[in-house]
Amino acid sequence: MPQAPLLPFRDGLAPLRIRLPHGETAATVLDFLVREYPDDHWAEMMAEGGVVDEKARRWTADSPYAPGRFVYFHRTPAPEVPVPFELDILHDDDGIVVVDKPHFLATIPRGMHVTETATVRLRRLLDCPHLTPAHRLDRATAGVLIFTRTADLRRPYQELFSSRSVLKEYEAVAGCDPELDFPRTVRSRIEKDHGVMVAREEPGEPNSETRIELIETMGEWARYRLFPHTGRTHQLRIHMSSLGIPIKGDPYYPVFTRTAADDFSAPLQLLARAIEFDDPVTGERRRFESQRNLVDR
């Protein structure tokens, strides 16, 4: 017989999972959950069938503690500050959905950003709970973002990005330095420590590469076209800052500054303008372009 499905997605969110640790003295699963996670209403959730194991079998108030087993459940997300900008759909077919992500909207649920993410918004909008991003954009970056509709398409589209088979074109507004010649290619070694907000350049073998072209000058500012060959954390922001022309509105480089969660007044002037690739399913050449302007977010 086929395995029963686990808990369904709820409001665009997959169920959470806890593994029951070894070495516990709790008599029941409920005893352990109430002690370790007292803010959740475990008895009520169990009574409603909302707490299951890895085979979709219900945990009940009387279920004995079982080390090594899993607990799946839903938790109501904490309230978040709404991002007051729309997520526009550029393309939608049976396989992929391409959106024009606004600034300030994270790609996936993580940390303090759960419901206010492109993934959850799009799952709710299209009633497609298994929609998954093929790649990611920083919360601060706007522009073209691709999602797959079904689980069987995740790997071929995600591998396009991991194998660097995608032409990614970005646009940025940054400082203008007449002493710098363009086009130019910047290569450096970028490292980022887990739990640290900013990345850094270090001596050593380069692991990042960006081609930068000047589009136009605008007084003290200029508009640039950026082509990242690699995808290190904050690569474009770091490379522009290393040239002495940090991207306008960047709160991370060259100096990290905190901004309030409800401050949407100064978006980072960085846009994923276009993505181009050979479709892994049809073989056709495809190109998707953002309809946004940086001044309009």
Give the domain CATH number at 133.
Answer: 3.30.2350.10
Same domain? 67 vs 192: no
Assess contact for 158 and 135: CB atoms under 8 A.
yes
Same domain? 157 vs 278: yes
Look at residue 256 and tell me if it is in a domain. Answer: yes
pLDDT of residue 6: 82
Domain boundary among 31, 47, 73: 73
pLDDT in 10s for each residue of the chain, 297 residues: 334 458 888 889 989 999 999 999 999 999 999 999 998 999 999 999 999 999 999 999 999 999 999 999 998 888 999 999 999 999 999 899 999 999 999 999 988 888 999 999 999 999 999 999 999 999 999 999 999 999 999 999 999 999 999 999 999 999 999 999 999 999 999 999 988 889 999 999 999 999 999 999 999 999 999 999 999 999 999 999 999 999 999 999 999 998 888 899 999 999 999 999 999 999 999 999 999 999 744
pLDDT of residue 23: 94
Q: Is 85 exposed, middle or buried (0-12, 13-18, 19+ CB in 10 A)?
A: middle
pLDDT of residue 139: 95
Number of domains in the chain: 2
pLDDT of residue 111: 82
Same domain? 66 vs 97: no
Same domain? 252 vs 227: yes
Look at residue 82 and tell me if it is in a domain. Answer: no
Same domain? 228 vs 174: yes
Same domain? 222 vs 126: yes
Look at residue 56 and tell me if it is in a domain. Answer: yes
Look at residue 83 and tell me if it is in a domain. Answer: no
Alpha carbon 203 to its chain centroid, in Å, reads 29
Same domain? 69 vs 100: no
What domain range is 238 assigned to?
88-296
Same domain? 133 vs 42: no
Domain boundary among 24, 40, 73: 73
Same domain? 278 vs 165: yes
Distances from the Cα of 197 to the Cα of 46, 71, 247, 253, 257, angstroms: 38, 31, 17, 11, 11
Domain boundary among 73, 106, 138: 73
Partnered with residue 110 across adjacent β-strands are 113
Q: The whole model's pTM is what?
A: 0.86
Look at residue 1 and tell me if it is in a domain. Answer: no
Look at residue 80 and tell me if it is in a domain. Answer: no
Look at residue 78 and tell me if it is in a domain. Answer: no
Assess contact for 33 and 42: CB atoms under 8 A.
yes
Same domain? 47 vs 101: no
Same domain? 124 vs 196: yes
Look at residue 2 and tell me if it is in a domain. Answer: no
Same domain? 68 vs 205: no
CA dihedral 210, 234, 201, 226 (to 10 degrees): 20
